[in-house]
Amino acid sequence: MSCLTITEGNFESEVLKSDIPVLIDFWAAWCGPCKMIGPVLEQIAIEYSGRLKVGKVNVDDNGSLAQQHGITSIPALILYKNGGIAAQKNGAAPKHDIESLFKNLI
């Protein structure tokens, strides 16, 4: 499974009501660091399929979602579990740092 496209229309069903933790990447097409971690997130989505969902929210297309979640810089990674925020990290990071956000929760 690859990264899901998360929008204002499916955020509640795919993220807040998910039975498994969900790692969301708030990103934009013009963001260099966002492009750097994109392939890492795709790899994580495949490796942890069934135990973790990975989704991407384009902040240009879903500005109100970004605003609701206090996103002021991108990339911003937020881990949701049981409908709430369990962890978060701003900025590009290597794979092991991203994994540290969720490894103890899956």
Q: What does the pLDDT read at residue 49? A: 95
User: Whole-angstrom distance between the N-terminal and C-terminal Cα of the chain?
Assistant: 17
Of 6, 15, 23, 34, catalytic: 34
Active site residue 31: yes
Number of domains in the chain: 1
pLDDT of residue 6 exceeding 70, the answer is: yes
Question: What CATH number corresponds to the domain at position 20?
Answer: 3.40.30.10
Rounded to whole angstroms, the Cα distance separating 37 from 60 reads: 18
Q: Give the start-end residues of each E strand in the chain.
A: 4-5, 22-27, 53-58, 76-81, 84-90
Q: Would you say how long the chain is, in residues?
A: 106
Place of tokens 């990975």: 54
Phi then psi dihedrals of residue 34, to 5 deg: -65, -40
Q: What is the residue range of 14's domain?
A: 4-105
Q: What is the pTM of this model?
A: 0.95
Active site residue 34: yes
Of 6, 31, 57, 98, catalytic: 31
Q: What does the pLDDT read at residue 1? A: 66
Residue range 5-30: average pLDDT? 97
Would you state the torsion angle of the CA atoms of residues 26, 47, 14, 80, taken in this order, to the nearest 10 degrees?
A: -60
Query: pLDDT tens digit string along 56-90?
Result: 999 999 999 999 999 999 999 999 999 999 999 99
Query: pLDDT tens digit string along 24-52?
Result: 999 999 999 999 999 999 999 999 999 99
> What are the structure tokens assigned to 60, written together?
């240009």
